[in-house]
Amino acid sequence: MTVTRYRCAACGNLTRFDVVTDRRTRAYHHYSVGGELHVEDEQVLSESVVEVTCRWCGHGRAVEVLGPQPQFAPPGA
């Protein structure tokens, strides 16, 4: 699994961003007898990033994509 990293060229932020995405999923909806919903087995069919804004300075035009970074699972996960 890879994760896209961002950087704000205006303030140098590397950690806090508001990311708006359009996502299409397929999921199994399991309702309890009492009507409580549990979403299980969710699969992302498509996803696209619509907007990325820096949480620190509010800039959206200064956000740069650093590229996909490998995400490692902890041992035993």
User: Does some domain include residue 72?
Assistant: no
- pTM, full prediction: 0.69
Domain that holds residue 35: 2-67
Q: How many independent structural domains does the chain possess? A: 1
Is 44 contained in some domain?
yes
Q: How far is CA 58 from CA 11, 37, 61, 66, in A?
A: 10, 35, 9, 18
Does 73 reside within a domain? no
Task: State pLDDT tens for residues 22-68.
Answer: 999 999 999 999 999 999 999 999 999 999 999 999 988 999 999 76
57, two tokens: 């300075």
CA–CA dist 60, 58 (Å, integer): 6
The answer to whether 26 and 47 are in contact (CB under 8 A) is no
If you average pLDDT over residues 60-77, what whole number do you get?
75
